[in-house]
């Protein structure tokens, strides 16, 4: 094996680099003495000294916000403040029955806090499992440590796929190539030599080495950029932003309506003050869709907990929603469709080479790389180390598709390349014909070739002379076929994008039953222009010989055609595409770089977990659309009733207790169950438009029928108990219309949905017939004429509502074609 370049530390020899581990620290902190790189790393005493000085990598936890932030976000909200003030007023002027809405808000807030804290615990636990664990040398021993245990001056080893977790200076380099694109935007890897700086957030694409940490914790470059951006957040999602937009408009409607209602009830009407205050509050409280934000948070939180049980780490919570909107998923073959391990099945000699000699060459090649990839590991397992001295190594790169090494053999020297045959051999070479047959069987083929040029010569491949073909068999993931079938059933287009030979990739995809696998495309023949590439990608399903930069371009091309793209992968060649995709999904066994940029990490390395993530996202979006329609129907009819009351100069028909009962039976309880029910329909865009399209007609019908019943009752009843009787029949009409809205939202019906609607109806009936509940909620139907009139008006309203619902569904623009929320 080649000797890595080192920095001598045994004395102040001329030209020996000295790494000042504290020179660029914040001047407020004490500056550490200069630290020379030592191959054996720091001693235990030196580590303890640095920990005592606070020179540790105390980076913030990526996955979650603090418990205090969760409590603050759930308690100190605009609507909680409004409800809180109204609750205090009601506790002073009215019976406890009219203050029930305040206790509901307390319960809702408590549920939200508990669920989010559970989600935080799940996220934090999974984040520890999936955390990067760099290899650090201390006291001459290399060990994997948590990133938070690294101290200033630590010697950190690097290998292909490793993420640079702190800033530092290169001390050892063995053909070390680092990709800094996540920091600089430049995709080309940078060759690093001893003395060069490395920045946290970059990652190794080829070679190996070690560096000495010069900046740790929040002083590190990437930590400064990512500390805020990587925190737990629910903000960046269409669902959350849509709800925020709705709440903003609701607030604008509430303020003038509430002012008018206050004036109407307290000034214009000459009624009892406490009664007027109670009815005024009764008009304001239902305008607030207080449970909508709660149920959205709970639905997301429960989604995180469910996925956490399946070893799925959601690093950015909106990724649950984002994957539900995906209509194209790009899959890297190796590590996704196939397992990481491979087996050598055949060694085929070329050009009369001696098999014994070739086996020795392969053994030496395997031993020359301290961190072999899956292909080379199969060779290591098959051929023992021949003991040759490696004088130069060329690590594997996804861009060039080959690796190499030069050896001092017992009888001389030789240089070899191992890589893709169609890259190392010229077009038309007869060997390629034989390889096509092997690729068609789904086998992976590597070419061993001897070269005469230096390994660092850009044209070294042109001097290659074929010596042997190494045939590898890939292990298919047992769950890959079912997962691909799931995506096909859900109308999510799957695109296999691999750096391997296109025919071989197509054969693997065909074994898994993937449509279009028989038309594999060599990515080297794809058009470079984005629009033309997007068209080719829409037509094809399997693509081989894709370079890392092409993967990124392909994701961008698909997005330019309006697709929402998810990208899965586990290797460093997938990082750029993962970063640019709408949703990046990494395997838990993947490189640290891929796990760092992915929004979702499958810690159990199971591709079959993806349908669960999709299902959770669809459940959240589809069900929140349902319950949002319920909540906003209440807001619409509450605002309209208040306006009608102000214009008509009559008493507001309801006390808070009436609307608390209605909200509980027609919104609160059913919404909780509907929000957590299974839902498989792919998410549609324009959340606000789709919800309001159904909430406004429903609110209009509910307000019109309720106020009509109220006005009729005012002409029918007279005497001291007239207002209570009028309120009771108006409540009956509003409940029946609201129950029909719930019945529409609950479609398509299942046994439990029918049972849910029936139970809510039965609950209201119990209140009407049990004497003490009649007294508690001030609901008592007087006579038979008006109660049956209320039922008839409600039935008419339900019929109008059904017609309006169907009419609105037919008027959905073609660009936003989707079924109504009950079917979404």
Give pairs for 429-434: CB < 8 Å, separation 24+. 429/466, 431/350, 431/466, 431/469, 434/348, 434/469
Using an 8 Å Cβ cutoff, are 563 and 328 in contact?
Answer: yes
DSSP-derived 3-state class of residue 73: helix
What is the DSSP-derived secondary structure letter of residue 442? T
List alpha helices for 177-220, DSSP H. 181-184
Q: Which residue has the tokens 């308690």?
A: 75
Task: Tell me the CA end-to-end span of the chain in Å, nearest whole number.
Answer: 61
Cis peptide bond upstream of 381, omega within 30:
no
Does residue 332 have an active-site annotation? yes
Q: At what angle do helices 355-368 and 374-382 cross, to 10 degrees?
A: 130
* Burial class of residue 334, CB neighbours in 10 A (0-12, 13-18, 19+): buried
Give the Cβ contact number of residue 751 at 10 Å.
7
With beta carbons less than 8 A apart as the criterion, state whether 680 and 616 touch.
Answer: no
Radius of gyration of the chain (CA): 34
Tokens of 550: 């092409």
Separation in Å, CA 809 to CA 619, 636, 685, 801, 821: 21, 19, 15, 12, 10
174 DSSP β-pair partners: 208
* Contacts for 593 with CB less than 8 Å, ≥ 6 apart: 161, 162, 163, 179, 203, 204, 572, 575
Q: Determine the Cα–Cα distance for residues 548 and 560; give it in Å rounded to an integer.
A: 19
Tokens for 237, please give them. Answer: 């999602």
335 contacts: CB under 8 Å, gap ≥ 6: 569, 570, 571, 587, 589, 590, 605
Angle at 623 between CA 620 and CA 628, to 5 degrees: 110
Is residue 521 within 8 Å of 541, Cβ to Cβ? no
Tell me the pairing of strands 542-544 and 167-179.
unpaired
Q: How far is CA 718 from the centre of its chain?
A: 61
Task: Encode burial over 446-481: b for 16+ CB neighbours within 10 A, e otherwise.
Answer: bbbbbbeeebeeeebbeebebbbbbbbbbeebeebb
- Catalytic entry in 179, 332, 553, 570: 332
Active site residues: 332
């Amino acid at each position: 094996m080649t000797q890595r370049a080192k920095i001598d530390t045994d004395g102040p020899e001329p030209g020996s680099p000295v790494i000042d581990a504290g020179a660029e620290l914040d001047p407020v902190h004490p500056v550490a003495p200069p630290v020379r790189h030592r191959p054996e790393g720091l001693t235990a005493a030196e580590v303890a000294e640095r920990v005592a000085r606070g020179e540790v990598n105390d980076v913030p936890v990526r996955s979650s916000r603090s418990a205090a932030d969760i409590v603050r976000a759930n308690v100190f909200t605009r609507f909680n403040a409004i409800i809180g003030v109204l609750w205090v007023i009601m506790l002073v002027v009215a019976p406890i029955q009219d203050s029930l809405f305040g206790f509901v808000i307390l319960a809702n807030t408590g549920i939200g806090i508990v669920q989010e804290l559970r989600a935080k615990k799940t996220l934090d636990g999974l984040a520890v499992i999936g955390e990067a664990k760099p290899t650090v040398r201390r006291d001459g021993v290399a060990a994997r440590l948590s990133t938070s245990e690294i101290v200033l001056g630590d010697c950190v080893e690097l290998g292909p796929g490793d993420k640079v977790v702190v800033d530092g200076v290169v001390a050892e380099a063995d053909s070390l190539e680092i990709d800094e694109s996540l920091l600089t935007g430049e995709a080309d890897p940078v060759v690093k030599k001893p003395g060069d700086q490395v920045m946290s957030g970059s990652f190794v694409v080829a070679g190996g080495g070690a560096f000495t940490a010069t900046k740790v914790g929040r002083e590190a470059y990437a930590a400064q950029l990512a500390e805020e951006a990587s925190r737990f957040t629910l903000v960046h999602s269409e669902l959350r932003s849509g709800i925020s937009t709705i709440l903003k408009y609701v607030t604008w409607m509430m303020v003038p309506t509430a002012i008018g209602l206050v004036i109407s009830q307290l000034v214009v009407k000459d009624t009892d003050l406490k009664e007027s205050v109670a009815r005024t509050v009764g008009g304001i409280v239902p305008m607030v869709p207080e449970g909508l934000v709660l149920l959205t948070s709970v639905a997301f939180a429960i989604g995180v907990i469910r996925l956490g049980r399946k070893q799925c780490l959601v690093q950015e919570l909106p990724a649950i929603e984002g994957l539900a909107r995906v209509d194209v998923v790009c899959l890297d073959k190796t590590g996704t469709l196939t397992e990481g391990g491979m087996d050598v099945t055949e060694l085929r000699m070329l050009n009369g080479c001696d098999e014994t000699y070739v086996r020795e060459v392969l053994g030496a090649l395997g031993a020359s790389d301290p961190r072999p990839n899956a292909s080379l590991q199969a060779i290591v397992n098959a051929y023992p180390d021949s003991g040759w001295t490696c004088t130069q190594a060329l690590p594997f790169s996804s861009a060039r598709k080959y690796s190499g090494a030069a050896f001092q053999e017992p009888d001389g020297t030789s240089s070899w390349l191992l890589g893709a045959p169609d890259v190392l051999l010229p077009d038309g070479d007869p060997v390629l014909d034989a390889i096509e047959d092997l690729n068609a069987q789904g086998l992976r083929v590597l070419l061993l070739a001897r070269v005469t040029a230096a390994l660092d010569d850009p044209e070294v491949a042109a001097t290659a002379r074929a010596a042997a073909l190494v045939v590898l068999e890939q292990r298919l993931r047992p769950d890959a076929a079912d997962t691909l079938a799931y995506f096909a059933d859900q109308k999510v287009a799957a695109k296999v994008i691999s750096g391997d030979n296109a025919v071989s990739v197509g054969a693997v995809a065909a074994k898994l039953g993937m449509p279009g696998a028989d038309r594999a495309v060599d990515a080297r023949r794809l058009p470079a222009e984005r629009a033309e590439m997007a068209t080719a990608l829409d037509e094809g399903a399997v693509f081989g010989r894709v370079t890392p930069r092409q993967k990124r371009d392909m994701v961008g091309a698909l997005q330019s055609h309006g697709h929402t793209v998810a990208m899965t992968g586990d290797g460093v060649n997938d990082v750029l595409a993962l970063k640019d995709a709408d949703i990046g999904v990494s395997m838990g066994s993947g490189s640290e770089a891929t796990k760092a940029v992915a929004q979702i990490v499958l810690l159990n390395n199971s591709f079959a977990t993806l349908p669960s993530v999709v299902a959770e996202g669809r459940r959240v979006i589809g069900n929140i659309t349902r319950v949002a329609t319920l909540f906003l129907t209440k807001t619409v009819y509450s605002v309209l009733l208040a306006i009608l009351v102000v214009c008509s100069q009559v008493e507001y028909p309801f006390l808070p207790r009436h609307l608390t009962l209605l909200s509980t039976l027609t919104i609160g309880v059913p919404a909780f169950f509907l929000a957590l029910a299974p839902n498989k329909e792919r998410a549609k865009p324009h959340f606000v438009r789709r919800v309001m399209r159904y909430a406004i007609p429903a609110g209009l019908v509910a307000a019109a029928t309720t106020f009509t019943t109220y006005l009729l009752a005012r002409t029918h009843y007279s005497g001291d108990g007239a207002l209570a009787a009028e309120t009771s029949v108006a409540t009956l009409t509003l409940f029946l219309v609201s129950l029909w809205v719930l019945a529409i939202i609950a479609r398509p019906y299942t046994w439990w949905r029918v049972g849910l609607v029936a139970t809510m109806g039965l609950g209201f009936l119990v209140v009407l017939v049990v004497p003490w509940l009649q007294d508690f909620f001030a609901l008592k139907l007087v006579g038979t004429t008006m109660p049956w009139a209320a039922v008839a008006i409600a039935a008419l309203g339900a019929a109008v509502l059904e017609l309006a619902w169907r009419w609105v569904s037919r008027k959905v623009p073609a660009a936003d074609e989707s079924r109504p929320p009950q079917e979404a």
